[in-house]
Amino acid sequence: MFSVLLQKEIREQIQTFRFAALLITLFGLTVLSVWVLGDDYVRRRDTYNKLAEQAAIQTRECKVPSLLQPVVHYPPSALGIFAKGEEKRLGNAVTIDRWAVPRDASDSLMDNELLAAQPSFDFLAILTVVASLFGVLLTYDSISGERERGTLKQLCSTTTGRGAIFTAKFVAGSLILLVPILISLLMMVLILQFFHNIAFTAMQWLSIALMVLSAFIYGAIFIALGILCSALVRRASISLILALLIWTISVILVPRIGSGLATTIHPLPSPSEVDSLKKVTEEETRRQAEDQERLIRSKTKDMGFWGTFSTTYRQPILRWGTPEAFRLFQEATRIAEPLWQRRAEVVWNLEKEHEAELVAQAELADWLSLVSPSSHLRRIFNTLSGTSYEYYSEFMEDARRFRRAFLDNLESKGYFGRNSLFFVTQIPMEVGLDPEKLNARLDAIRNNLGEGAGWEDVISEDNWDPLPSDIVPAFEFKGDQPQLELVLGPFSSLAVILTVLFLAGLFAFHRYDIR
């Protein structure tokens, strides 16, 4: 009897205008979105490959350890087409700097900052609004409407219990809602496969399957909501209003108000205050470094020093000097190096605190929108597509670990003192512009260095040995698998919401006056 009921419900739903409307709307919007976002992904992937290649060449060709800035990165996520998430806002490439701990990954192709306030328009966004709205529209009159038409009495006069009738309506509605989702998804995957040549891996297929499952539960929640509303009131027009009211609140309002309130309840520290804190630490380190520098400067006073001798620049540069000065310069930078690295740690600690505040605020916003199924759906989709903050933050952890390993490697191989360059943009007065004099002077310095300190190859960048290939350790990003354990929470929240709505609907229907 249950299957007969189910068949009847499905047959009735399929013939309705709203089902056709749902199918066309969902299909049209998803196809449009995937077409453009697929193109966008391909472009970003190509840009990414180009950048990765260029970064690798730059690292390979670099001869000066102090100029070595390897870039670590991970490819843009193909599933980001379905759920854009925070990927394009957070970035996916980090340039490793000796004197700064990486704090963001913005060296990649990111979103236009001027569009920051525009919400995305991907499969997730379309599902969130369209599937839920039509879920409600499909079922708002399933009980009150039948009562108005007078068919409810007939239905309840059969031998089947009300529980079975309710369940049949619920299952039929959920399956009917799943059909357009599946058709749209199939079309999207086909477009991606054949027009954009994007092939998914097994893991990505698993993610897609889980996305479908979550979309199914999400849709079922609104089906259950529609039936519940129609079982609470006598007239279909009232149940429609009730259902749409709850829909507006849970899908549109709660997430917005949640994040709005979170910024009010848990305010972030003012950016200028954070910056001035950083400046204080920077000043301290600068003073320490300059003390060391002054000491060495006093020793090199009579050595014909010329040019910028400064550890306060990112790349200490000796522009001109005697071999003795050059050696002292190396010594100064060796002293300054640990100071600047310690400063990097201090600044990073400040930044880490700030980032913890950001995360706390976002968690509060999530918590405030706990009742909204759409926020759970968003977390599931973003996690599965690898565009969530958690994914990014694992990458950043790995990038920081990589930086540490890279620096340790530099230090253990004795490269920390060798961070100076020879520039000829500035020339002592007595040499002037006469090329002969200039070359003679350069030769003299080369010779002198060779005798004194064994730095004969170091004087000009062109004469430096290429750096050994093992100077940059291999970068491993362990987070390139979807973090399945993170979707358990949102999945169970969705399940709880569904169960509550289903049971409430069942209860309301049992007490429903069918006259």
Partner 1 sequence: MLLIARRQLMDGLRDAKFLFFATLVLVVFTANGFIYSDWYSKSIHDWNYASSNNLKVVQERADNLQELANHEQMMVKPPSALAFIADGGEQMLPNAFKVNAFYVGSVQKLSRDNKVLPVLGALDWSFIVGNLMTFVAALIGFGTICGEKRDGTLRLLLSYPISRIKLVTGKLIGLAFALIIVFLLGAAISLSILIFNGVLPLTPEVGYKIGWAVLTSVLCLLFALTVSVAVSALVHNPAVAMVIIMIGWVFFVFAIPGLARLIAEQSVEIKSKFEIQQEVNAAYDSIDQEIPASWKIWYGEPFHESVPNRAEWRRRTVAAMLKVIDDSLQKNINQAEVVNWLSIASPVGLLDSAFQELNGTGVHGFKQLLSATRRYRSQLYNFVKEIDSRDKETPHILYPYSRGDRGVISTKPVNVNSVPRYQELWLAGGLAPESDLPLTHLIILVLGILQAGIIALIAVARYDPR
Q: Is 387 in contact with 281 (CB distance < 8 Å)? A: no
Residue 78, token pair as written in the block: 């193909």
Q: Is 420 in contact with 301 (CB distance < 8 Å)? A: no
How far apart are CB 361 and partner 1 at their closest, in Å?
5
Residue 421 buriedness (CB in 10 A; 0-12 / 13-18 / 19+): middle
Q: Is 221 in contact with 250 (CB distance < 8 Å)? A: no
CA distances from 503 to 60, 114, 499 (A): 64, 46, 6
How far apart are CB 457 and partner 1 at their closest, in Å?
24
How far apart are CB 291 and partner 1 at their closest, in Å?
22
Q: Which is nearer to partner 1, 51 or 453 (CB)?
A: 51
CA–CA gap between residue 382 and residue 482 (Å, rounded): 10
How far apart are CB 151 and partner 1 at their closest, in Å?
15
Q: Which is nearer to partner 1, 42 or 155 (CB)?
A: 42
Q: Which is nearer to partner 1, 4 or 358 (CB)?
A: 358
List CB contacts of 138: < 8 A, sequence separation 6 or more. Answer: 13, 16, 18, 19, 22, 173, 176, 177, 223, 226
How far apart are CB 90 and partner 1 at their closest, in Å?
6
Q: Which is nearer to partner 1, 79 or 133 (CB)?
A: 133
Q: Which is nearer to partner 1, 177 or 335 (CB)?
A: 177
Residue 225, token pair as written in the block: 């909501």
How far apart are CB 63 and partner 1 at their closest, in Å?
17
Q: Which is nearer to partner 1, 16 or 349 (CB)?
A: 16
List CB contacts of 435: < 8 A, sequence separation 6 or more. Answer: none
Q: Which is nearer to partner 1, 220 or 240 (CB)?
A: 240
Nearest to 310 by CA among 324, 329, 283: 329
Q: Which is nearer to partner 1, 4 or 36 (CB)?
A: 36
Nearest to 384 by CA among 124, 44, 106: 124
- What would the DSSP string read from start to end of 171-201? HHHHHHHHHHHHHHHHHHHHHHHHTS-PPPP
How far apart are CB 126 and partner 1 at their closest, in Å?
8
How far apart are CB 352 and partner 1 at their closest, in Å?
13
Q: Is 494 in contact with 210 (CB distance < 8 Å)? A: no
Please give the single-letter amino acid code of residue 154. Q
Nearest to 176 by CA among 374, 25, 22: 22
Tell how strand 71-73 and strand 91-95 pair up: antiparallel
CA–CA gap between residue 71 and residue 94 (Å, rounded): 6
Q: Which is nearer to partner 1, 137 or 231 (CB)?
A: 137
Q: Which is nearer to partner 1, 117 or 202 (CB)?
A: 117
Alpha helix (H) residue ranges in 91-161: 123-126, 132-139, 144-149, 151-157
List CB contacts of 452: < 8 A, sequence separation 6 or more. Answer: 323, 324, 327
How far apart are CB 270 and partner 1 at their closest, in Å?
5
How far apart are CB 54 and partner 1 at their closest, in Å?
7
Residue 43, token pair as written in the block: 């472009």
Q: Which is nearer to partner 1, 62 or 410 (CB)?
A: 62
Q: Is 452 in contact with 323 (CB distance < 8 Å)? A: yes
CA–CA gap between residue 122 and residue 37 (Å, rounded): 8
Q: Which is nearer to partner 1, 103 or 297 (CB)?
A: 103
How far apart are CB 390 and partner 1 at their closest, in Å?
10
How far apart are CB 2 and partner 1 at their closest, in Å?
27
